[in-house]
Amino acid sequence: MTDNAFIFNHPLIRHKLTHLRDKSTSSKEFRALVTEISALMCYEVTRDLPLEETEIETPVAAAKGSIIAGRGFALVPILRAGLGMLNGVLSIIPSAKTGLIGLQRSEETFEPESYYCKLPPDISERDVLVLDPMLATGGSAVCAVETIKRHRPKSIKFMCIIAAPEGIKCLSDAHGDVKIYCAALDDHLNEKAYIVPGLGDAGDRIFGTD
């Protein structure tokens, strides 16, 4: 495994992941779990945010405090399934701007095909957080990062719920500067490039299209 992947091992996340993976979990529950896990992951993803000193008045006295410096984040969910993570992250980072990248993985070649891209105009002044629940072969993540890098953001992090070792290697080899955050690292990919044991098709489970 590479140094730039952070795998969560928190009891709350492990508990929620177990329900998320369960094939009897409904779309409604699945969406709620993706939202909750994404919000919990923000605690670690934002650990290195720069702060600046400020002064405020409490009802009792003057006090020094710290606020987050700079423009902050641009969130870029990869359509469709990345949308499921957006509200959870926005609940913790409400001032973030959002961009969208639409990618569809071919069922034959497993290569991503791009169908949409709209990014915030000031993305070059922001740290970007790419959201996608599944990092399987890594093709979609690499394609999204390449698209975003053309706009020269300050930094890029990639946040997923389940990763395969193949996906982490692919993204790290292509973009070693992109830190990867995964709620879980699974075993391998099957012959259809699905993550095993995984959770199935994340987009279908979020949008109820399975």
3-state secondary structure of 44: helix
Q: Is 71 annotated as catalytic? A: no
Among 14, 109, 187, 210, the active-site one is: 109
Q: Is 207 in the site for ligand URA (CB under 6 A)?
A: no
DSSP state of 104: E
Closer residue to ligand PRP (CB): 76 or 123: 76
Q: Is 98 in the site for ligand PRP (CB under 6 A)?
A: no
Evaluate whether 131 touches 140 at the Cβ level (below 8 Å).
no
Distances (CA, A) of 204 to 31, 176, 186, 207: 11, 30, 20, 5
Evaluate whether 35 touches 84 at the Cβ level (below 8 Å).
yes
Tokens of 16: 């929620």
Taking contact as CB under 6 A, which single stretch among the options 4-12, 63-71, 119-127, 134-142 is the one that binds ligand PRP? 134-142
Q: Residue 195: which of ligand URA, ligand PRP, none does it interact with, CB under 5 to 8 A by kind? A: ligand URA
Site string for ligand URA, 125-144 (x = CB under 6 A): ---------x-x--------
Whether the ω angle into residue 80 lies within 30 degrees of 0, i.e. cis, is: yes
Q: Is 105 annotated as catalytic? A: yes
Q: Residue 80: which of ligand URA, ligand PRP, none does it interact with, CB under 5 to 8 A by kind? A: ligand PRP
Taking the C-alpha atoms of residue 82 and residue 69, their distance in angstroms, rounded to an integer, is 27
The gap between the terminal CA atoms of the chain, to the nearest Å, is: 32
Chain residues that interact with ligand URA, rule: CB under 6 A? 81, 134, 136, 194-195, 198, 201-203
Chain residues that interact with ligand PRP, rule: CB under 6 A? 78-81, 103-105, 110, 112, 132-141, 167, 193, 202-203
